[in-house]
């Protein structure tokens, strides 16, 4: 039987550049030319980024010292059937609540990668990007109870940015789950049953890693 051929691949990733928005206080990205064809015979760049630059995933170790680090995690948590939960129309720093998305939570299944679609990625590069909607922890706990272990959002943070509490991060870390942030282009998933891949760079001992996130239609 021939292997399935993708009918469509949607890029869900921010481009990493010197201007990629970063969480306040994180290392600033820098991409510079190291060698050139003219001088050394080949082109090469020096890339300096944080472990959570651009579209990235968090390992449990990000908020739990005893948690798994990114290179220790089972890769099955980074690929699988996607389930998009629409959360459009939310304002600045407005919570996504069970009242908003409860009917979708009821439909979620174990093993799915849940993606919260806020549309906020269109503000990347603006100050408004950091005043994004966020997911209330009750929503995530309800999904965890259904067997979901991987959560993604098209904002810089699944929790509120600017606060010192990170309840969703702690809840997901406690079950050895995964959080993906800074996704984009979720509106381009215009087909049913997307297959999601958010495989991380294999960084030894780290709290997270950048990814090239995609949604695939077979």
Burial-class residue 71 by CB neighbours within 10 Å (0-12, 13-18, 19+).
middle
pTM of the model: 0.97
- Kindly tell me if the per-residue pLDDT of 2 is higher than 90: no
User: What is the reported pLDDT for 7?
Assistant: 96
Angle, vertex CA 70, rays to CA 66 and CA 74, nearest 5: 95
Q: How many CB atoms lie within 10 A of CB 30?
A: 12
- Kindly tell me if the per-residue pLDDT of 1 is higher than 80: no
**pLDDT tens per residue, range 152-197:** 999 999 999 999 999 999 999 999 999 999 999 999 999 999 999 9
**pLDDT tens per residue, range 18-44:** 999 999 999 999 999 999 999 999 999
Element at 105 (helix H, strand E): helix 98-107
Please tell me the CATH superfamily of domain 8-13+53-217, with its number. Answer: Putative cyclase (3.50.30.50)
| Nearest in space to 77 (alpha carbons), one of 59, 104, 97 | 59
Domain ranges of the chain: 8-13+53-217
The average confidence (pLDDT) of the chain is: 97
Rg of the chain taking only CA atoms, in angstroms: 18
């Amino acid at each position: 039987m021939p292997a399935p051929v993708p009918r469509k691949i949607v890029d869900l990733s921010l481009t990493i550049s010197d201007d990629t928005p970063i969480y306040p206080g994180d290392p600033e990205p820098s991409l510079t030319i190291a060698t050139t064809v003219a001088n050394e015979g080949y082109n090469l760049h020096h890339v300096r980024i944080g472990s959570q630059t651009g579209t990235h995933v968090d390992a449990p170790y990000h908020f739990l010292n005893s948690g798994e680090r990114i290179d220790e995690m089972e890769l099955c948590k980074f690929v699988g059937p996607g389930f998009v939960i629409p959360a459009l129309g939310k304002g600045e720093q407005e919570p996504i609540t069970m009242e908003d998305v409860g009917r979708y939570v009821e439909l979620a299944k174990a093993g799915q990668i849940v993606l919260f679609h806020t549309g906020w990625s269109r503000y990347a590069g603006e100050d408004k990007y950091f005043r994004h909607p966020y997911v209330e922890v009750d929503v995530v706990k309800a999904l965890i109870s259904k067997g979901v272990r991987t959560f993604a959002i098209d904002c810089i943070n699944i929790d509120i940015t600017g606060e010192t509490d990170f309840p969703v991060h702690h809840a997901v870390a406690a079950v050895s789950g995964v959080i993906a942030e800074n996704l984009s282009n979720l509106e381009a998933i215009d087909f049913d049953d997307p297959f999601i891949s958010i495989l991380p760079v294999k960084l030894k001992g780290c709290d997270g890693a950048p990814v090239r996130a995609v949604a695939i239609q077979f």
